Structure formats: C-alpha cells, structure tokens
Chains A and B, each alone.
Chain A
C-alpha cells in the first residue's frame, strides 16, 4: 500500500458523504430530480414535492447521517476505553437497557415520543448500573469493565426475550424492527446534533491522548495522561453518543464495530485522522444503507440494521483481503 495520505482521504470521504446524502434525498416513491432540488433551494418547488422533501426526505437523511456518525465515533471511543478490537457501542449493555425501555412502550401501545423517552431512560439505567458496579469494585480495569458490561447485557437480553415471548403477535414486528434498527419513524433535533458536535470536538481535543491510551494505562500515565479522567470521559462520552443513536433508530448493528476497523485497515490508525474519518464514513454508511432499506423492496421498508450487515460484511471482508499484512 502506498503512503497513507490523510487529507486526500478525508476529502474523498467528504465527497462520498455529499453524494450519498444527495442520492438519499433524490430517491423514494415520489420522484424528485436534481432540478427539483435546485428549485427547492430557489424556493419555487410545488407544495406536494416541497412537503415530501421537507417533512420526509430531509429529516430521515439527517437522522441517518447523525445516527451513523454517532455510532462510528462511539465505537472508536469504546475500542480505546476497553482496548479491545471487538468492542462496539453496545458492548457495555446500553442498547439492551434502551431496548427494554422501548419494548415496554410498544407493549403498552405507546409510540413516538414515549418510545424514545423510555428507550432513553432504559439506556441511562444501564449506564448507571455498569458505572456503579465498575466503580464499586474500585478498579476501572478494562477486563472488569468489559465483564460488567457483558453480564449486564445478558441480563437485558433475558428481559427482551421475556417481553418478546409474552407480547401479542401484532406488536412483535414493531419490536423486532426496533431491535434490528429502523429509521422509518426517526428524526433528530438540535439536542442530538448538539451532542454529536460537542462529542466530536471533545474527542478531537483528546485524540492525541487516545493514541497514547491504546498502548496501556501505564504507558499513558507515564507519558502524562490523566488516565482516570480520560477514561471516565470516554465512558460517558461514548455512552451519550450511543444513547442519541439508539433513541433515534433503535439498535442498528455493525456500524460502530466495523466502520472504525475498516478505516484502521486502510491506514487511519492515528485518532486525529480516525475520528473525523469515522464521523464521515459512519454517517455515509448509514445514509446509503437507509436509502437501500426503503427503496429495495418499495413500497415495503426493511429495517436498516439488516442492510448495514448485508453490505457491511462483504465490504469488510473485501478490505481485509486487499490489505497486505505488513
């Protein structure tokens, strides 16, 4: 592989993101062409098409991008925190807590605002439980934290199965869609975008320290990193990013685990490059997956989580095979 050129790659990723967003805005059951988009910008698009654009396409595309970017960044941060390449945003059980909250709402026939609020509360409970157990033990060792997360996830998993097996069959499909990740009801507001922007800025500021922290707590501490503070910030930062993602789109799998690894494989090992690159690529990946999810079998919509895995697995394998091990 030739010399890794971060700026060129970031430029390419930005262009790709732009193309994906444009593609998402222009595809769907109502035909919207590029010239319609231009007339929208100029303010002379007919009402019907304007509504489709403003109320459906734009919010959904934005939700997809923000969710994907948040998941990819959360994945990067979790992998550093746990110093484990298998870590993903959900590894500490957060999505399980959110799922139990969301499923409870669906069971009670509540939707919309209730769904995301109960998911939010469930996720927070999960973060609190993991944090409480890990701090009580006094050691924030990666193994301890990882084991705590895995056990808490297993507990949530049991509750999810209990709810699935006792619910009326009519509501089970909604539950499965949520569990696989689905953007059909999604929108994001200033709160979610704010969390993403602030999270990304703080992560960039800590990027240099993250490079050191992946080499171990002792190395980091001896090079002057305040590891206790950094690891706490990573824990809460990654959790908050994951919370905004799961409350927006359910537990979309694969993005948070695989996007950071794909980028590391093509050379973005330095977190100063990996963080912006993950944000762009994660966002793009989910926008593309969602566009496919709603157009492949139109008018039927597929859960976006299925698509992320279906296109993610082969592309990951392709990159893995094409990268020579040095």
Chain B
C-alpha cells in the first residue's frame, strides 16, 4: 500500500540555520505521529513543509505517489489540513462563518454553501462542544473556544491527513482528554479512551492520519504511536514511541534531565 505521505531526505533551513537534514519517514492511514523538540527546533517549519506551504532546502514530500511541489494548493487542501498556532481576525466574523471556511477546498466552484457544507460545519461545532456559540462573534471567544473553533474548521475540511500545531494550546485538562478521543475517532485507530463525545454522524472512523507538533510529551506518549524528535540541527530521531521516548533522548532534546514513571498503565515524563 502506498503511504499517505512520505518525506524523502528532507532538509529544512530557516535563514542560514539548518533545522534538520536528510530526514525520511512515511505516514500510513490510521497512524498517529508526534513531533517533538524544544522551542525553535523547527517543528512548525516541518509541519508547514509537509503541508506544502514551505519549500524544503533539499529533498521532497510525496502525497501518495505524487510530489507535493507539482500539485496545486487547491488539490493539496482536499487531502491535507493544517491547524495553525495563530489565528487572525482583523475583520468581524461569526463562529459558524469561520467553521464554514473549512469547506473552502470542496466548495470552490460554488458561489453559495450547500446543505452538505452547512451540515458538516454544524456537526464539527457540535463535536467540539461549541454549537451553542454558532452566531457569536469570533472576537468575543476565549482562547480555548478559539482553539476549538480552529479544530472545528479543520474537521469540516475532512482532510485525510491532519497536521496539528500545538493542538492542546489553551485547552483545559478536561477538553484535552476530549481532544484525544476526537483525534482517535478521526484516524479510526485503536480506542484507548472511552468515547465521551456522542457518536459522530459524519465523522465515522475513516482512513486518516494525524501528525501533531506539541510541547506536551505526555500527550504525545498517550496518543502517538510514532515520534519524530528534533534533537538538534544534525540529529532528528524517527521511530516508534517506545523507542524514541526515553529519558536519555528526551534529556538530550530538551537540554534538561527528564525522568519517566509508570502509573496505572500510563507512562509519564517530568523534568527533574
């Protein structure tokens, strides 16, 4: 089976700085990848490169078996969705209008939104628990509500590959747990947490994959089965979560001693 996305000897540079070199991995449907590294290691740059928003210094990214650089952004957006860290709201807009923007890649040829677009947008709001805010102005939302709205927009887009930049930003502990359930339901992988959200209509487990860049090692350890750890500009580790998430590698990556404990079947990491 062709992987969903393949990184082929990728090298990234920011200005004169090298972020990573000769990085290769491939992502299959149903997989959950974590992208870890300290501040400025290049997590966001790598995500943007995988989304086709940034050209790598060397190497290439394949979507299925097609080189990303040969595809139009309109085509890429049908398959790859990106949750950004920052949102812009210079001009007024409401919550439902924002969620509907996620339908853009599918609705290009139409002037007006059809009932499917509306249905999916409301369904996404419902999944994120912000349906009641539908007609509110985006500027009146709290940080956590905005983050949920950004996630709803991404769900409405229905991408096969979800690239998430700090998905747990601004979210309280309760909602972080819901987020995990939601992500698991997206990729249709093995269900660790019990389903706390009501059974989704549109988003039945489907062929998708997730890559998330996060500062939360414990979130990554809980959700992800594969890890990309950006240790330094010359060293990027790729492998299964058990292989990569060790006290030694994490300590090197974050320049600080990190300890590991097992508790009630979960693995937790904390700085010493």
Contacts and interface: CB of A to CB of B under 8 A. Distances in A.
Interface of A: 79-80, 83-85, 204, 207-209, 211-212, 214-216, 218-219, 221-226, 264-265, 269-270, 272, 325-326
B91 A226 contact: no
Interface string B91-102: 111100110011
The residue in B78, B82, B90, B107 that gathers the most chain A C-beta atoms within 10 A of its C-beta is: B90
Given A207-B111, A212-B104, A222 B97 contact: no
8 contacts: A211-B104, A216-B84, A222-B77, A224-B74, A225-B73, A265-B92, A269-B91, A270-B97
A208 B87 contact: no
Contacts of B48: 218
Given A325-B137, A326-B137, A326-B140, A223 B91 contact: no
Contacts of A226: 72-74
B92 A216 contact: no
Contacts of A221: 53, 73
A208 B111 contact: yes
Contacts of B75: 224
The residue in A204, A209, A211, A264 that gathers the most chain B C-beta atoms within 10 A of its C-beta is: A211
B185 interface: no
B88 A208 contact: no
A253 B119 CA distance: 43
Contacts of A269: 91-94, 97
A103 B110 CA distance: 46
Top 5 A-B pairs ranked by shortest CB distance? A224-B77, A216-B88, A224-B74, A222-B82, A224-B105
Contacts, number: 92
A272 B111 contact: yes
Nearest to B98: A215
A83 B84 contact: no
A214 B91 contact: yes
B171 interface: no
Contact of B107 (A85, A208, A218, A265): A208
Interface of B: 48, 51, 53, 72-78, 80-82, 84, 86-94, 97-98, 101-102, 104-105, 107-108, 110-112, 135-137, 140, 157
Contacts of B88: 83, 214-216, 219
Contacts of B105: 223-224
B242 to A, nearest CB: 32
B137 A264 contact: no
B87 A215 contact: yes
A226 B81 CA distance: 16
Given A325-B140, A326-B135, 14 more contacts: A80-B91, A83-B88, A204-B111, A211-B97, A215-B101, A219-B84, A219-B101, A222-B81, A223-B105, A223-B157, A224-B105, A224-B108, A225-B73, A325-B137
A225 to B, nearest CB: 7
A272 B88 CA distance: 20
Contacts of B112: 272
Contacts of A224: 72-78, 104-105, 108
Nearest to A209: B104
Contacts of B77: 222-224
A214 to B, nearest CB: 5
B101 to A, nearest CB: 5
B53 A208 contact: no
